[in-house]
Amino acid sequence: MKDSTNTPSSAPYARVAVIGAGSWGTALATVLARNGRDVALWSRRPELAEAINVSGENPDYLPGIPLPPGIRATAVIGEALSGADAVIVVTPSATLRDVCTAMRPQIPAGIPIALACKGIERGSGLLLSEVVCEMLPGHPVGAVSGPTFARETALDHPTAATVAFPFSYQNRLAPHDSPAARLAVSLSGAGFRPYVSDDLVGVEVGGAVKNVIAIACGMMSGAGFAENTRAALITRGIDEMKRMAEALGGSRETVTGLAGAGDLTLTCSSTTSRNMSLGTQLGQGIARPDCFEGKPVVVEGEVNAVSVIDLARRIGVPMPICETVNAVLHEGADLQDSFNALWTRPIEAEPRALDILLDHPAPTATLGFGASE
């Protein structure tokens, strides 16, 4: 453990705007306010903003959890951004460009923007940070990511996450003054422990790909398989993350941390995750329109399966698990046939340095779907 006796202090941001009043946005607002920050929480719906201010909780997304003083909800984005020292954006990835367009005339110049949403933009293949840099130039852009369920975070259960921003030369000379360090300190509290990273690419890739892998785990769990299968998918899913991160200039090491392996493990371990839940229902044979009792639930891994695979194909990165999920979700492939094909692909080496590929001896074998223990 490093000696912290002479560790320089980092100044937290006094006022933070959280753009997005869903469960995770509200949880992050709660963490910030609990730590003494002044928080403006923007909701797309005026009635939700009013309900939050009147009731002192978010009745739609985190019912029953009292919000600490210091949170003011608003449906006017200019009010949320006025006087902010930093911004955290927590909106669905598909709406990010529209949100940036609304923010552009209102956001104070030069303040840092951290993304707490995950994905790759469909069509462009851009990481979400690249979308923000294009739409809102002149702002440091980073991300907050990790193994975090919103309700547990809002209840102050011990939680860790990564705060990542690219580090400029000046940031490296004075890292405690970097946006990553200052936002990490702003979020740090009794239960919430952030770690600082300069590998934004690795963190974003981990956050986007893990949702797709979680759907795969859910599919196999719903089909009747158990821990061996999930462990295999998690481990090989991490390898797919590493390959994409490295190809885009990120670090393989980042993918083994909180924003990669940590987030993936959590998301693949509980149907609290909408990605895992969707996969589980599909694995049980429930038709997609009937999942979530027919409610129109946005599942980021479903949205991002297409964009992840489009990008992987474009940069020449093999991602067979993600390919399988995308084929089932968006190309009409049969779930059982697709996973049979995944499991009987040619045998390859685990260390990449060992160049070997072998025909699978049972290419037409079928997995025991529906088999009991």
Whether 57 and 67 have beta carbons less than 8 Å apart is answered as yes
Whether 304 and 212 have beta carbons less than 8 Å apart is answered as yes
CB-CB neighbours of 349 under 10 Å: 11
* Beta pairing class for 15-19 and 86-89: parallel
Give the CATH number of domain 15-198; options: 3.40.50.720, 3.40.720.10, 1.10.8.50, 3.30.70.2390: 3.40.50.720
Place of tokens 């959590």: 266
Report, as residue numbers or ranges, the catalytic residues: 210
Domain with CATH 1.10.1040.10 in the chain: 202-350
DSSP 237-264: HHHHHHHHHHHTT--HHHHTSIIIIIHH
Q: Which CATH architecture has domain 202-350?
A: Orthogonal Bundle (1.10)
Domain with CATH 3.40.50.720 in the chain: 15-198
SS3 state at 265: helix
Distance of CA 198 to the CA centre of its chain: 17
> Please, which residues have CB within 8 angstroms of residue 64's CB and are 6 or more apart in sequence?
57
List per-residue pLDDT tens for the chain, 373 residues long: 555 556 778 999 999 999 999 999 999 999 999 999 999 999 999 999 999 999 999 999 999 999 999 999 999 999 999 999 999 999 999 999 999 999 999 999 999 999 999 999 999 999 999 999 999 999 999 999 999 999 999 999 999 999 999 999 999 999 999 999 999 999 999 999 999 999 999 999 999 999 999 999 999 999 999 999 999 999 999 999 999 999 999 999 999 999 999 999 999 989 999 999 999 999 999 999 999 999 999 899 999 999 999 999 999 999 999 999 999 999 999 999 999 999 999 999 988 889 898 988 888 878 888 665 5
Largest CA distance in the chain: 65
Write down the pTM of the prediction: 0.92
Q: Which two tokens stand for residue 40?
A: 């403006």
Whether 18 and 90 have beta carbons less than 8 Å apart is answered as yes
